[in-house]
Chains A and B, each alone.
Chain A
Amino acid sequence: QVQLVQSGAEVTKPGASVKVSCKASGYTFTGFYIHWVRQAPGQGLEWMGRINPHIGDTKYAQKFQGRVIMTRDTSISTVYMELSRLRFDDTAVYYCARPIGDYDLHYWGQGTLVTVSS
């Protein structure tokens, strides 16, 4: 069965960077995009971007351009989301997700809480 398993919670300081991983299993890793979505405490869902694991091309939301980098390691079926120059309002649960079609987000990771605190 399709599974996306994310790395554990992180506590980090303003101005630092954080890198969250998402390990995929149960399907052909290079066959589907992986998207990243975040949710700040008590707030709604926010789409951050996506990566094509086959060729590595990425598309980011304008809000995160210049601060986010999504990469993948096909040898271990894992994608990474690195967010730099962290601010307090980057505190959120970060999810990876995979579609079943072209535009949906069907399979979700368990979420990774990133806390930015001084």
Chain B
Amino acid sequence: QSALTQPASVSGSPGQSITISCTGTSNDIGGYKSVSWYQQHPGKAPKLMIFDVSDRPSGVSDRFSASKSGNTASLTISGLQAGDEADYYCNSHTNNGTHVFGTGTKVTVL
């Protein structure tokens, strides 16, 4: 199972919106309503930001939103803040019952 494809880096200025893409196949992203997104700051455990494609866990800011179209999922961060600077990973269930992560995207706040 190959890793899902994400851009290596995305940057934006405070207050702007950015979008991170996550591309897979019909065997993972395209086949299930199971995409999740994780934020990871250096030296910390990942934090769930989005599950089931577009749902936010309690406590996650509504500045984080997500969607899916075909084999590609997207995470949008609006009103970018300094604290949003981190690595972001997508994840999907697959048709053989496993999970696969994306390659990861480093978000830089300019």
Contacts and interface: CB of A to CB of B under 8 A. Distances in A.
Contact of B38 (A62, A102, A105): A105
Given A105-B38, A106-B51, A108-B46, A45 B104 contact: yes
Contact of A106 (B1, B3, B34, B48): B48
A49 B98 CA distance: 7
A108 B47 CA distance: 8
A109 B44 CA distance: 10
Interface residues of A, number: 26
A100 B51 contact: yes
A52 B87 CA distance: 29
Nearest to B35: A103
A57 B22 CA distance: 30
B51 A108 contact: no
A102 B48 contact: no
Nearest to B103: A44
A108 B49 CA distance: 13
Given A103-B36, A105-B46, A44 B51 contact: no
Interface in B75-110: 87, 89, 91-93, 97-104
A103 B33 CA distance: 9
A109 B45 contact: yes
Contact of A104 (B3, B48, B103): B48
B35 to A, nearest CB: 8
A30 B57 CA distance: 22
Residue of A37, A59, A62 contacting most chain B CB atoms (<10 Å): A37
Contacts of B38: 45, 105
A61 B102 CA distance: 15
Interface of A: 35, 37, 44-47, 49-50, 59-62, 95, 97, 99-106, 108-111
